[in-house]
Structure 1
């Protein structure tokens, strides 16, 4: 039996996964036949798995993904312009490691948000930090940060995030302050971190959406240069998946 001192020492060393595995071994007589090296390997494996699960939980909580989604559940049956080789390439996350961006466009209901969250989930599972924000929510956070003095801290948090997902791009006109804030966010991340844009507005209309020509040129140059682009097509998934009314 483990004595209290050993338990406390394992907790002090933050080896809670190993402690749980050791207590489990104590209750399984069959493990007593294993060699010391075999039992130690099992304890270390359990500790590593415990830490990976704890880290994933922390990353997913911080990401605040809008919907639960994962790349293994992508629906390829409905024609949306999705190809398995292309999605496998994006799911490899090489583009994030290269600090490239992804622009995900398509009509309302085609699954842009779901796919963005699936890629965000994949990034968390690979140990990368993710943050999901609707663009209007980002502007509101930045507006508040300007007022309460937390702007530098917020910008630092955004810069440290490996993948920033900006959803609902292009649904409302921007004012001067919002354009300037957007420029700062994109400029900070350019060449250092990846940004995923999800928008129902085709890319060719983004310049008009941004409004001011000089800032629009600067934002789009940084955002689109070398970026991956995925344009979804087809009928709304919400309509396709809606249950048939039998009345």
Structure 2
């Protein structure tokens, strides 16, 4: 068979997955017993798999997730109050498709950011767009954008992703300008996309962090009323790992 011209044509057409599959089938003696329809089906499977992987890699790079976490690596043995059934349900990402929110609270070191990044990573695998920000850096970026004319562009970037991860919310009270920025973000995403917020501060104290009553009412009404909640507890996992290494 004219292997090389066929491979060259597949690559020229951008069908790199089919080219890889073609080479694999050519090298497999058992593939010679397959009929044309079976060959074509296997080649299309190779192409589909490669394209899905490339889309995932592109979305994962764009997400800027803080941790290379995976839902398959979650430790349910740690005593921190993580509901395994709920987390596995969230890992299916249907809550993102239905534009609901998720709030993860708990003390420092119990794995809030890691779990958020694991869910963000899974969303990328599900072909959903994700963007991660630590809240202090987000407010700093919005302040700079306001000064150089990029404010509207940054808000549009935050609004159009399927999942926006806001990590490390609180505990310092917001400045009035930051409270207004937060309302703009929440308003743009209401019924349009999902929010995942992590915080050391319990939800019942968020009102005081926002500070301005009218803005606090508007923000919390849009974020909390349709949000799943994961409330973690226990000692820091970092301290436990350090103690294990010392032992």
Match of 1:46? 46
Residue by residue over 1:84-109, the C-alpha shift from the partner in whole angstroms, topping out at 9 and shown as x without a partner, is: 21112211222111111111000000
Alignment of 1:171-190 (within 5 A): 171-190=171-190
203-212 vs 21-30, which deviates more? 21-30
Instruction: Give the 3-state SS of the residue equivalent to 2:3 in structure 1.
Output: coil
Cα pair distance change 1:30/1:80, threshold 3 Å: same
The Cα of 1:30 is off from its aligned counterpart by 3.5
C-alpha distance in 2 between matches for 1:71 and 1:78? 15
Q: CA RMSD in A?
A: 1.6
The Cα of 1:171 is off from its aligned counterpart by 3.4
Match of 2:125? 125
Instruction: Give the 3-state SS of the residue equivalent to 2:137 in structure 1.
Output: helix
C-alpha distance in 1 between matches for 2:151 and 2:12? 37
Match of 1:222? 222
Instruction: Give the 3-state SS of the residue equivalent to 2:43 in structure 1.
Output: helix
Match of 1:61? 61
C-alpha distance in 1 between matches for 2:10 and 2:149? 42
- Conservation of the 8 A alpha-carbon contact between 2:173 and 2:208: no
C-alpha distance in 2 between matches for 1:20 and 1:92? 30
Match of 2:3? 2
Instruction: Give the 3-state SS of the residue equivalent to 2:81 in structure 1.
Output: coil
The Cα of 1:159 is off from its aligned counterpart by 1.2
93-102 vs 112-121, which deviates more? 93-102
Match of 1:150? 150
Match of 1:245? 246
The Cα of 1:43 is off from its aligned counterpart by 0.4
Asked if residue 81 in structure 1 is aligned to residue 84 in structure 2, the reply is: no
Alignment of 1:11-50 (within 5 A): 11-50=11-50
Runs of 4+ in 1 over 4 A off after TM superposition: none
- Conservation of the 8 A alpha-carbon contact between 2:186 and 2:219: yes
Flag structure 2 segments of 5+ consecutive residues without an equivalent: none
Residue by residue over 1:89-144, the C-alpha shift from the partner in whole angstroms, topping out at 9 and shown as x without a partner, is: 21122211111111100000011001111111111111111111100111122122
- Conservation of the 8 A alpha-carbon contact between 2:130 and 2:163: yes
170-179 vs 215-224, which deviates more? 170-179
The Cα of 1:168 is off from its aligned counterpart by 0.8
The Cα of 1:157 is off from its aligned counterpart by 1.6
Cα pair distance change 1:141/1:12, threshold 3 Å: farther
Match of 1:97? 97
C-alpha distance in 2 between matches for 1:244 and 1:186? 42
The Cα of 1:11 is off from its aligned counterpart by 2.9
Flag structure 1 segments of 5+ consecutive residues without an equivalent: none
